[in-house]
Structures are given as C-alpha cells and as structure tokens.
A and B are shown apart, each in its own frame.
Chain A
Amino acid sequence: MTEEMTLDNLSKMAAQAGLKLPDDELEKLLPGVNRARKQADELRQFLSDATEPAAIFTALRVNKV
C-alpha cells in the first residue's frame, strides 16, 4: 500500500523532477497527487504474475522517427 504523500515530500520530489513550483501551487497539487497514487494502487489487486502490460514492443513495427 502506497503511503500518503506529505507536502514536504512533494516539494522534495518536485525539485528532483526538475519542477519549479511555488508553495501554494504544491499545496493545491497535493490532494490530486494522493488521489492519483491511491487510484494506481487500487489497480494492483486485479493483476496476476502472468499479466503483461497492454503496450508491448513489437519487433516488426517500424516507427517514424
């Protein structure tokens, strides 16, 4: 289970991610971040070890560069 993010952690992670966000913006961001992390966590219960991601690499596919 993912732990709830604090404002302090959010601020440190934002800096590590190269994001320069004012404190009031980080404060407004925090509830959405925790909601998104919780939502992602909830999806783990539906997976088995055999489940592969929907997006997989295909060797024959030629992408434009």
Chain B
Amino acid sequence: MTADHLCYLTITETAAGLRRKEFSPVELTKACLARIEAIDGKLHSFITLTADLALQKAEQAEQELHAGKDRGPLHGIPIALKDLYATKGVRTTCHSAVLEDWIPDHDAAAVNRLQEAGAILLGKLGMHEFAFGGPSVDAPFPAVRNPWNTAHIPGGSSSGSGAALAAGLCYGALGSDTGGSIRTPSSHCGIVGIKPTYGRVSRDGVVPLSWSLDHAGPMARSVEDCAILLQAIAGYDSKDPASANVAVPDFHDRLPDGIKGLRVGVPRAHWFDENKGTDPETEAVFDNALKTLESLGAVIVEIDGKAFSIARKANQTILVCEAYAYHEKTLQATPMKFGSSVRRRMLEAAFLSAADYITAQRARSVLNDQIRANFSRVDVFATPSAPRPPEAFATMDPNEQNLRPNFTNPFNLTGLPAISVPCGFTPGNLPVGLQIAARPFDEATCFRVACAYEQTTEWYKRRPPV
C-alpha cells in the first residue's frame, strides 16, 4: 500500500486495517505528518501542527490496541480540529490576531469525547476569522486554498477542515456551522459534513460566533465516517446551556436501510429563483442528484420555498447581533486587530436596535413553524449545498462572502440537522454538494439518504490533483 493510498483510506477501512495489524497508529500518524509536510504549503489548511503530541498519542494507542484495550472505531485515527475548539495547552487562534497567542487551559467538550474515543490530534486547522466574514486575506495566517484548484476558495468558515480532508491530510475533522460553515466547505471540497440538530453536540469550549445559531459537527470523506465521528461527540452536556437531553441513536444501524418511499421535499419555488446567480451547472448537477434519489425509490415533492428564503434574513440579523455582543469589548478597544471582512460585518450590529434583534428572533419563531409544517408532506428537504461552485481568489470579494444568498441558513435558524454529500462536479472539475435536511434529532435519516446516494454514485471516491 502506498503512503497516498494509506492517507486516503476511510476511517472504517483504517480501523479495520489497524485491527488486522496491516499498519499501526504510529505509521498512520507519520504518513499524515509527511503528507502535510509535503503538500500543505500549497493549501495552508493547518495553522498549528501538534506532531510530537500526535506521535506520543499514537504510541499510546498502539500499546492500548496491542493490549486489547479497544476504544472503538476512532482509536488510533489521526484527526484535526477547526481552530476555534479550545485545546488544553495547544494554541487556539480562531484564525485571528485577536487570539494569536491564546493557549487554553481546557479542552472543548467535543475534543474530550474524541480523545476518550482514542482519536489522535494532528493539529489545528485554518478557518475564516472567528468563523465569520470571508477567506481571511488580512489575518496573521494565510487563507486556506481549495485542493481541487488552489486558485479557488475552499468555502468557509471551516475551510481548513474541508481542505485537509480532501487532500488526505487527516481522516476526520471537526467544524462549526452558524450559517453553513460545515456544509459549504464540505460541498466546495468534495467531502461529507453534517450540521447536527441544535443541542445534539456540546458547544462547550467552542469559541462562539452566535450562541443561538452555532452548531458543532463533524466532517469526513464518507457518510459512514461522518456518522462514526458524530456518534463519538453527540450527547447531553450540562456545561452547554443549549445541550439537549435526547437519546443518541446508533447512527450506523440504519445506514444501509435505503430510501424507498422516502418523500424528498424540494423548496424550489420562491427560493431557488431568489438565489440570483445560482450557477446553472450547479443546478443541473443537483437535478441529476434528484433523479438518482428517485431511481432509488424516493418520491420528489416540489414545495414552496418562501419561508426558507426569508429565513436567511432572520439568520443574518441574529448572527451579527450576537457576534457583536460577544466581541463588543475587543471591537471598542482594538477594532483594527480584526480583519476587515469580519470587523465590518460585526460592526453593522452596533447600529441595529434591540427591537431589530428581537424582531429577528420573533421572525425565527414564525419561519420555524412554517418550515416544519412541511414535514406533514415530506420526510426530508433537498437543495444544492451551495448555489455556486467555489469562487476564484482573484475575483472574490471577501466582504461579500457572507451576504450572498445561500441554501444553508434556514437550517441554522430552525436547528434542523442537515448534511452535505458530494453529488458531482462542474465542467471545471469543481465539486458540488447535495444538502439533505431532516426532522429535529433525526440525523440518522440524513445519514441514510446521503449514504444511499453516495454508494450509488461514488463521487466521494474522486481525489483532487494535489
């Protein structure tokens, strides 16, 4: 097996290989570190590498597995974290000069759970500054580049997570999603990412962008891998006030169940039209994905998308107000420490009123009811994950990145689980993602639909030319 082949195995394949002793956690970790060393100079997906710590943990995992102490499918698997997850003793920057030297004295709850599962931390990944704005062109760390074409953005804000996975630099990663920040880079980098239901994964130790919209979640190279990661990090946590005390099902169990008879709602009318600039190639790829779902036995139901379209406005108003409230002191004291894109978006909220914020939260109630009412007619919603393929850095305006229409915001506003799975490529060989959203706490259905689609099409097996 070549080193490249080893780095592109799925978590499931890797876990099986470890137990067959085809390779060891130390060999896996060394292979990832060597690949990072060889190609990440072109991608900038890592901000901080924790090579020594990773090798130490890999040796520990090797000894434990050898001694028969098996912690499950993530034991000995190298992973990486978006650089807003607090990591004890490891710099956590949020890709910002504001936190350039912050070394937390605690681990985020999700990080703790991954460590308990035996995963090995390779390092901290680049992102959009404070998970907001556009690619960070004026931050202390370079903007992450897309492995499919380094002249293009990887999508954000979990840009490093998307790029590192697509480039075979780690086997799994955590991202966060306040308006689409897991699903957009998953779509743009040709990988899988799920924003779980609000409350499913603890936000404890995740630097906030917007408390009522932030979701922590996993990203990986296959649906099954994503389910394995979510299984490890999901569950009630008393340290997160929004954490839901809801039983966590076995996400793996229902993966092979298929989708015969499943009703797939497509909120096209009054929404896809609103997305001016929706790339026709993206929509064509999406329509082909719907045909595939239909061929697998799903029933496609066109539904009205008006409430979904308006949801974006409420989401953005809430987001900027909560982000400003969190960063107010720093914006007053040292505003120029923030990059221009994130600074200007956050500062907008200084000129909105308390009534504006409450209005958006009231609109959230109305839109949430309207969107969920569709579940009497459909079982899931399907849209493209992003309306356009990833833009080129040369023509991209970072200040406009968060203002563009998108298909992801409504599922932050409603807290519904939503997954992005690769569904094809544009003629320019840039990935396109299919988004599937389900009822609250029904991530299992997201996984089931995405898995059925993935296994039929195998887009996820394509590799970028890095």
Query: Which A residues are within 8 Å of any B CB, using their own CB?
Result: 5, 10, 13-14, 17-21, 25, 28-29, 32-33, 35-37, 39-44, 46-47, 51-55, 61-64
Contact = CB atoms under 8 A, between A and B. Distances in A.
Interface of B is mostly: helix
B14 interface: no
Contacts of A17: 332, 350-351
Given A19-B332, A61-B241, 14 more contacts: A21-B347, A28-B340, A29-B344, A29-B348, A32-B344, A36-B320, A40-B359, A46-B310, A46-B366, A46-B367, A52-B362, A54-B212, A62-B238, A64-B239
B351 A54 contact: no
Contacts of B238: 62, 64
B316 interface: yes
Interface string B336-367: 00001000110111111000111111111111
A23 B359 CA distance: 30
Nearest to B415: A54
B335 interface: yes
Interface in B218-275: 238-239, 241
A18 B335 CA distance: 11
Nearest to B317: A40
B92 interface: no
24 contacts: A13-B351, A20-B332, A21-B335, A25-B335, A28-B344, A33-B348, A36-B348, A36-B351, A37-B356, A40-B313, A40-B352, A40-B359, A43-B317, A46-B363, A51-B365, A52-B362, A52-B365, A53-B365, A54-B364, A54-B368, A55-B212, A55-B361, A62-B238, A64-B241
A61 B335 CA distance: 35
B313 A39 contact: yes
